[in-house]
Structure 1
Amino acid sequence: MDRRGQLMFDRLAGLPLDIESYDYVRLTGGERSTTLLRLHGRGHRGLGEDIMPAVEDHDALEAQTEFPLVGSWTLVEFLDALGSFDQWGGVEPEFADFARPFRNWLFESAALDLALLQAGLSLGDALGRTARPVTFVNSFGLGETPSVDGVRARLELYPSVGFKLDAAPAWSRGLIEELAGTGAVRTVDFKGRYGLEVEGDFAPVYEAVLELLPEARIEDPHEAFAAGLPLERVAYDAPIKRASDIGATQTINVKPSRIGDLRSLLEIYAHCEAHGVVMYGGGMGELGPAREQVQLLAALFHPDGPNDVAPPPFNLPEPISGLPTSPLEVTAPPIGFRLK
């Protein structure tokens, strides 16, 4: 582990952690469901959120009542113990390479929250860092018949909010010109590192985005196109799980749930700060406290990037009024692994 990352981890590792019981709460928002894990101890409740996409995954998790979580630990003892038991109740998860980090982060984030609560510390205090207002973007696709209408409708309500848009072969040059006219596109996500089959010709889209959206990051470009892109325009998300994955990349999207464990997350932060790698944060469809947790991490480590950590109501099909604007104001965060 990088020495700087180790020093950050050491500031948390020895925190006492007393778990007396645990339970679950299902969260639902539109067609999306997540499950809260609540760790109880010494009058406090530490929270983590399972973000698996299928309802069946949440049903199976909530049926697990004999995880060996109860006891008196230090935080590092608990994190080390997570590798010694079956987090899936004997059922191999689909897409295990993605799913296992999600589940591990569920336990680690809840444990970190409870340990900080029991110590009377905020995460910023524990790490010696100050939270700053968070620039965030709204992330979505433009539909099967791509249209800029959704972008314009949101800009009418929230002119300071930028956008991270999922590219598609159906994007026309005219559409990209319209997007350029908004001046609000911060990132174009090609999702080219998931091994998904591409249906259609992406070459004109890459060409037009490169020309017409010169300020926008190009995230996860397909391998066939990546070599022709300026390195300073490219950002990677899906391939980044460890500091060793960064290589010569100049910009990364840091997703704690994809990384899956606190040690590796802190090592990535330390590596990027030491080597001048630009960071921004990303969520994974959180509905509850896990979204505030990624907002807090953005506030502590990369507040000025195009962070894909908008409050969950921004992901509703139609924009609604009364939501926070960007940058998200951050007062002194409370104790625990939480923003408010």
Structure 2
Amino acid sequence: MANPVPYAPVAELPLTVEALDYEQFEQKTSSEFTRVTTVFALNGDGKTGRGEDVAYDTADHERLAAAIDDGSFSLPNGSFSFGEFSTALDAVALFLGEGPERDASRHYRRWGVESAALDLALRQNNTSLPALLDPEHQSVRFVASTRLGDPPTTDRVDAIQARSPGIGFKLDPTPDWDDELVEDLRGRNAVRVVDLKGHYEGTSVDAEASPAFYSRIVEGFPDAVVEDPLLTEETRPLFEGAEGRVSWDSPIHSLGDVQALPWEPSWLNSKPSRFGTVAELFRVIRWALSNGVNLYGGGQFELAVGRGQAQELASLFYPDGPNDLAPSSYNEASLPTELPDSPLAVPLDHVGFGF
């Protein structure tokens, strides 16, 4: 069988890095927090490549900006192959001083740098991922991801459906969802994924892994993919015979993590930034496609180029999944009058990385 996601053509791309710049973005979101991200801009041979650091803690971005401004943060300069540049990053301290607020941010920052380098290498060579890897772009189907507030209501779902009647949803249930709310949402025939967020600790989205809560959601949405349950002695029996509905996201940062799951998965949420490096992302996608695993893309509240890069990967490798990659206007605290419809069209005359 041919390699479905070859890394070698990307690793061999010539790359010249001469300078580093950055830009920060900020947006109030529907989840009642202010999102800050940093876009790395790598310059070389008259071209610029961009990638987005999606670490969730504003303090990490503030320290990064200060370190770039005072020259204490730098990246390797010179001529490389893309693979050589990635290897050189292993010796670079991407966090200085205190380090990140949470360990997962190390992957997010590494991805921000690597995706900028990939964008730059593709632009310097006047090419694109489809030209290198063979698969063609396809239109990307996406779902809208939202929380329902405290106390939970369908107001946000109603507002999105009024603007985009055929949209599907990826929802984050909470233990205070009652039977009436579940029945209302199920009746809309629009819930594609329910994210139990069972592997988060110390965050604003932690959800208790109680059997009653899980049972209400698993049984209440019989056709939905169930993402990230926390399996305990009490909750594991709820998934006996239904393992094929379960998907994984937060615990997955490498192929080793995938292979250590309690059973071989039928579904995986592929969030590029969780894997840190292009090589590891490709390794996981290659394994999944070779083993018949259903993939769908996930977003991280990107505010700039990161969303378009995740959309392009979905376009190449999993265009028909319940991709949590709606345009960022879906995440705005106050929804615009009109929202883009699914699927996303493929841009023409594409060079570089990202839609």
- The TM-score bracket by the shorter chain reads over 0.9
CA contact 2:21–2:41 (8 Å) conserved in 1: yes
1:276 aligns with 2:292: yes
Q: Which runs of 5+ in 2 are unaligned?
A: 29-33
Amino acid paired to 1:141: R
Find the counterpart in structure 1 of residue 23 from structure 2: 25
Corresponding residue for residue 249 of structure 1? 265
Relative to structure 1, the CA distance from residue 333 to residue 215 in structure 2 (aligned partners, 3 Å threshold; closer, same or farther) is farther
How many angstroms does 1:159 deviate by?
1.3
SS at match of 1:48: strand
The percent identity for this pair of structures is 38
Residues in 2 aligned to 1:293 and 1:226: alpha-carbon distance in whole angstroms: 36
C-alpha deviation, 1:246, in angstroms:
2.3
Query: In the alignment, what sits opposite 2:326?
Result: 310
2:222 matches 1:222: no
Deviations 1:94-129 (A, max 9, x none): 222x01101110110000000000011111111111
- Which of 57, 76, 98 aligns to 1:69? It is 76
Are the structure 2 counterparts of residues 12 and 201 from structure 1 closer, same or farther at C-alpha, using a change threshold of 3 Å? closer
Separation in 2 of the partners of 1:178 and 1:37?
43
State the match for 1:179 in structure 2: 185
Matches within 5 A, 1:114-125: 114-125=120-131
- Residues 263-316 of structure 1 show CA distances to partners (whole Å, capped at 9, x for unaligned) of 111011110111000000101110001100001101111010111111111011
2:174/2:207 contact within 8 Å kept: no
- Counterpart for residue 170 of structure 2: 164
For 2:3, the aligned partner's letter is R
Measure, in 2, the Cα distance between the counterparts of 1:333 and 1:264.
28
Query: Are the counterparts in 2 of residues 19 and 69 from structure 1 also a CA contact under 8 Å?
Result: yes
Moved more, 129-138 or 193-202: 193-202
Q: Name the aligned partner's letter for residue 83 of structure 2.
A: V
Spell out the pairing of 1:95-134 with structure 2 (5 A cutoff): 95-96=102-103, 98-134=104-140
CA distance in 1, matches of 2:141, 2:16: 35
Assess if the C-alpha contact under 8 Å between 1:170 and 1:200 holds in 2.
Answer: no
Q: Report the CA distance shift for 1:105/1:76 in structure 2 as closer, same or farther (over 3 A).
A: same
Residue 81 of structure 1 is aligned with which of 78, 84, 88?
88
| 1:240 alignment counterpart | 252
Conservation of the 8 A alpha-carbon contact between 1:168 and 1:202: no
- Conserved in 1, the CA contact under 8 Å of 2:143 and 2:168? yes
> 1:194-239: per-residue Cα shift (whole Å, max 9, x none)?
2459676743332232223111111001212244211111101011
Amino acid at match of 1:183: N
| SS at 2:140 equivalent | coil
C-alpha separation in 1, matches of 2:289 and 2:208 = 39
Q: CA deviation at 1:27?
A: 1.1
Q: Does 1:146 align with 2:152?
A: yes
1:122 and 1:333 in contact (8 A); partners too: no
Tell me the SS of whatever aligns to 2:6. helix
Cα displacement (A) at 1:333: 5.8
In the alignment, the residues of structure 1 paired with residue 200 and residue 131 of structure 2 have an alpha-carbon distance, to the nearest angstrom, of 37
- Partner SS state of residue 246, structure 1: helix
2:7 equivalent in structure 1: 9
What RMSD over aligned residues (CA atoms) do the two structures have, in Å?
Answer: 1.9
Question: Which residue identity lines up with residue 272 of structure 1 in the other structure?
Answer: A
Q: 1:131 to 1:226 in 2, by over 3 A?
A: farther
Cα distance 1:174–1:85, how it changes in 2: closer, same or farther (>3 A)?
Answer: same
Report how many aligned residue pairs link the two structures: 336
* Aligned-pair CA distance for 1:336: 0.4
2:231 maps to 1:231: no
The amino acid of 2:190's aligned partner reads A
Letter in 2 for 1:155: Q
Preserved contact between residue 198 and residue 209 of structure 2 (Cα < 8 Å): no
Name the CA distance, whole Å, in 1 between partners of 2:337 and 2:50.
28
Q: TM-score, normalised by structure 2?
A: 0.90
The structure 1 residue matched to 2:337, chosen from 321, 328, 333, is: 321
Q: Is the Cα contact below 8 Å between 2:111 and 2:277 reproduced in 1?
A: yes
Q: Secondary structure at the match of 1:293?
A: helix
* Conservation of the 8 A alpha-carbon contact between 1:232 and 1:250: yes
Which residue identity does 2:192 align to in structure 1?
A: R
